[in-house]
Amino acid sequence: MASNSKLAIAIHTAGMLAFGEQMPLTSKIIAESVDTNPVVIRRIIGNLVKHGLVEVKMGTGGGSRLTRQPREITLADIYLALEEGYIFNVPELEKSHCCPIGKVVRPVLKKFFGEAENGLIEKLRKITLQDILNDVRKELPEDFCMMENNG
């Protein structure tokens, strides 16, 4: 598992903001739900803000909320907002390296990996935050209210 849980945390975060409707949520509340530290959440929200998905209000009564409707936010938007770079790494070679294949393979692999990653992004683009919410709601008790139940 190479893995990177930022995307999961970011979606979870955005999902909670959606649940919270227009009521701003604090990084502390979200962090408790995700089971991590508020700073981790703030860092991720920073990326979402930078890409216009979320807006933040400072000070008392402040917190974050979505700038758009959940059906207008795709997982690709969130994925790209994280600016994590490429999934597959193509290792650098030493400058002294002299195998001609080694030198030539690198850009070729980069090209094909880029294509593959586009396939991933296309799929992510078809999934909206609303889809996530719908699935999550199915699993929650009907009378669930986040503000009361969160622990």
Partner DNA sequence: TCTAGTGTAACTATTCTTGTTACACACTAA
Partner DNA sequence: TTAGTGTGTAACAAGAATAGTTACACTAGA
Largest CA distance in the chain: 67
Positions 74 through 133 that interact with DNA (CB under 7 A): 84, 89, 91
Residue 122 near a second copy by CB under 8 A: yes
One-letter identity of residue 12: H
Near a second copy by CB under 8 A: residue from 90, 130, 143, 147: 90
Q: Which parts of 1-150 fold into alpha helices (H)?
A: 6-19, 27-34, 38-50, 75-81, 100-125, 129-139, 146-149
Distance of alpha carbon 119 from alpha carbon 132, whole angstroms: 20
Contact window for a second copy (CB under 8 A) among 41-49, 51-59, 64-72, 119-127 = 119-127
List of residues contacting DNA (CB under 7 A): 1-6, 26-28, 36-40, 42-43, 45-46, 49, 56-64, 84, 89, 91
